[in-house]
Every structure is written in C-alpha cells, then in structure tokens.
C-alpha cells in the first residue's frame, strides 16, 4: 500500500541478512534538496558547493555563500549535509577565474590545488560554512586530494578559521573534515590519508577517468571502459581494505553507483555509504533489500579471485538473476 511505501522509504536500508547500507543523495542546487525527503535519503552525501561559484558571473561574496549554506541546511532539516568545498577547474571552470590555458585541464590546476594556491578563497568559504552551521555539525569534504600533506595544509586553514570564529563569533560547531579519493595515487596510499581525516568518500567519476586514462567528458573514450571490471573493482577493494586497516569506512559518491549492479559490487567489497542522484535512490533501495550480503560478498570474492581481467558485469548479472 501507499502508506507502507512511505514507511519503508524512511526505514534503514538493510540487506536480507541485516547489513545496513547508507543511501545518501548528491546535490548542488536548492532545487535538488526539495527531493530529499521524498527519496528517503539519510543525508546529503555530496553537496557540490561550486555550483554557486559557476552559475554567477563573479565569485560569490562571503555573505552570499553564508546565506546559501544556511538555506541549504534549513531546507534539509535535521539530516546531515556533507559540503564539498568548491571544486573549481577542469570540467568546472568559472569564466571569471583567469589562469593560463591548460592543455590537459583534468590533470591540471583544479580542486584542492586551486584552493590551496588561492587560500583566501578557501578561507572565505570555510568562514561562511562555519557561520551558516550555527551550532549544527559541519561536514566538509575536500575535493581532489592528492597527498596527506595537502590535506593537512587545508586542515590547517580550517583550524585558523575555527580559531577566528571562536574569537569573533562564538563557539564553533562540531566539525568533520573528509577527503575525496579521486586520484589513483591517493587511493593507493589511502592508509596515510585515512589516519588524518575524519571520513573518506571515493569520487568514482574522476577516479575512473584517471584509472582508465579516459576523459570523463569525452564519450568516445569514457564509454569504452566499464568500471564494473576486474581491474577497477579489485583496485577499489584494496582501497577499502587499506582504509579499514586505519579504522575508517569508505563512502562512494561517483555517478557509477546509480547502476544497481555497480552498487552491488561496491557493497560487496565493503563500501558503507553510497551517495547518488535523487532518482537512483528508490531503485537502489529495492536492490539492496533484495540481496543477501554474505552471498553477494562470497560471489564477488570468487569473481575477483578467479577472473584475470575484464568484465565482471555479465557474471554478476547472472548471479543476481539466480538470486531472484
Ligand atoms: C567524482 O569525481 O566522482 C565526484 C563525485 O565529483 P565530481 O563528479 O563533482 O567531480
Ligand atoms: Mg570529482
């Protein structure tokens, strides 16, 4: 019945054998957030703050940023929001941000690299986020982290702003700072990042782009490589295992997780949280509730041990069909 549907929607998402998977929503506009309660997502797992920076013709002022974040938090209500600090550059170029033309922008001056080089820009954003949080827990996620040193440098800037907030505004909100894992070297060395950050989220769009050396903006090459392949999944499995050794679970916020089979593969290798577009949440909830985690995990371990390289999709689909 309809009443049952609403009830189910807000219940935790668990597999048949009781393993909980957190389903979160990706957003970047206030418009997206209207869908949050309809989807039953447990949180906004990735709020792409750069949209505000890219839509206008100029860098938004600190006041405009603060007002926007406040509106986001009010719209979302009691659920948590993970604010990804502005990820500018490459496919997200702001016309007003000058800089040399880059022949290879995806691997260029972007994400945290821009934020650290123009740290006034990052500090303004942190200041606005701290002010908007008003005592609510503030989750910040840093984009395109390459090394632990970069993460710590950004964390140092956050600490400066927290001190400033304490001095001039009042007690700071509780804070969690996470790192996006979008670069193969960061994934390979995830243990050192895991030791210093509060949480981790794999950005599969960028990570797959670099893993397969296939521009995500270019369909001619990006569609050639299925991320649901032995190479990528075993790489992610190692990444997640390494993070766990440092006591951290890992989330995944790339678009690939909207594909139910890919989502199953991610859950099988131990991804604890999936953050996806609003429209994908319903189908994923149904998929997760229909499987037995122990069987799924065993099947994935078998596939990863057996297969050399290549497609995992066919075998996983066949397995899913036998599970009903
Ligand atoms: C990603 O790279 O997977 C990601 C979530 O960030 P974006 O798509 O905004 O680069
Ligand atoms: Mg990215």
Around ligand 1, the residues with Cβ closer than 6 Å are 46, 48, 87, 182, 203-206, 253-254
pLDDT tens sequence across 25-48: 999 999 889 889 889 999 999 999
| Residue at token pair 């949440």 | 281
pLDDT tens sequence across 47-100: 999 999 998 888 999 999 999 999 999 999 999 999 999 999 877 778 777 777
- In angstroms, the CA 178 to CA 140 distance is 6
Residue nearest atom 4 of ligand 1, based on CA coordinates: 203
User: Which ligand gives the minimal distance to the CA of 46?
Assistant: 1
How many Å lie between the centroid of ligand 1 and the Cα of residue 324?
Answer: 33
- In angstroms, the CA 77 to CA 209 distance is 35
* CA dihedral (266, 24, 110, 55) positive or negative: positive
- ipTM surpasses cut 0.90: yes
Q: Ligand 1 pocket: which of 45, 48, 112 to mutate (most atoms <8 Å of CB)?
A: 48
Beta strands in 144-277, from DSSP E residues, in sequence order? 175-181, 199-202, 250-252, 273-276
- Residue 99 sits at φ, ψ, to 5 deg, of 160, 165
**The ligand 1 atom nearest the CA atom of 275:** 5
pLDDT tens sequence across 275-313: 999 999 999 999 999 999 999 999 999 999 987 788 999
**Whole-number pLDDT of residue 99:** 73
pTM listed for this prediction:
0.96
The pLDDT-based confidence of 147 (bands split at 50, 70, 90) is: very high
Residues 6+ apart with CB under 8 A from 142: 84, 85, 112, 115, 151, 154, 177, 178, 179, 180
Residue nearest atom 9 of ligand 1, based on CA coordinates: 48
What count of other Cβ atoms lies within 10 Å of the Cβ of residue 84? 25
- Residue 179 sits at φ, ψ, to 5 deg, of -120, 135
How many Å lie between the centroid of ligand 2 and the Cα of residue 111?
Answer: 8
Kindly give the pairing relationship between strand 43-48 and strand 175-181: unpaired
Beta strands in 143-231, from DSSP E residues, in sequence order? 175-181, 199-202
């Amino acid at each position: 019945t309809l009443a049952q549907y609403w009830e189910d929607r807000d219940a935790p998402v668990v597999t048949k054998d009781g393993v909980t998977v957190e389903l979160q929503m990706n957003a970047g506009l206030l418009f997206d957030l209207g869908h949050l309660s309809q989807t039953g997502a447990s949180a906004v797992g990735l709020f792409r703050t750069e949209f505000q920076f890219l839509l206008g013709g100029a860098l938004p002022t600190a006041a405009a940023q603060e007002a926007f974040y406040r509106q986001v938090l009010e719209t979302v209500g009691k659920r948590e929001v993970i604010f990804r600090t502005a990820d500018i550059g490459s496919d997200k170029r702001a016309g007003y941000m000058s800089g040399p033309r880059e022949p290879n922008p995806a691997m260029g001056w972007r994400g945290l690299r821009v934020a650290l080089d123009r740290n006034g820009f990052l500090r303004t954003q942190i200041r606005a986020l701290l002010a908007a949080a008003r005592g609510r827990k503030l989750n910040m996620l840093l984009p395109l982290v390459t090394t632990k040193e970069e993460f710590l440098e950004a964390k140092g800037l956050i600490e400066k702003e927290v001190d400033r907030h304490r001095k001039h505004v009042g007690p700071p909100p509780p804070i969690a700072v996470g790192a996006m894992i979008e670069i193969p070297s960061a994934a390979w060395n995830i243990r050192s990042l895991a030791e210093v950050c509060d949480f981790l989220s794999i950005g599969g769009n960028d990570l797959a782009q670099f893993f397969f050396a296939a521009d995500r903006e270019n369909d001619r090459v990006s569609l050639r490589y299925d991320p649901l392949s032995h190479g990528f999944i075993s790489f992610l499995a190692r990444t997640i295992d390494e993070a766990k050794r440092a006591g951290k679970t890992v989330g995944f916020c790339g678009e690939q997780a909207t594909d139910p089979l890919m989502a199953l593969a991610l859950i099988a290798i131990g991804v604890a949280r999936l953050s996806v577009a609003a429209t994908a949440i319903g189908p994923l909830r149904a998929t997760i509730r229909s499987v037995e985690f122990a069987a799924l995990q065993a099947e994935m371990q078998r596939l990863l041990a057996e297969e050399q390289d290549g497609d995992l999709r066919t075998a996983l689909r066949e397995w899913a069909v036998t599970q009903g």
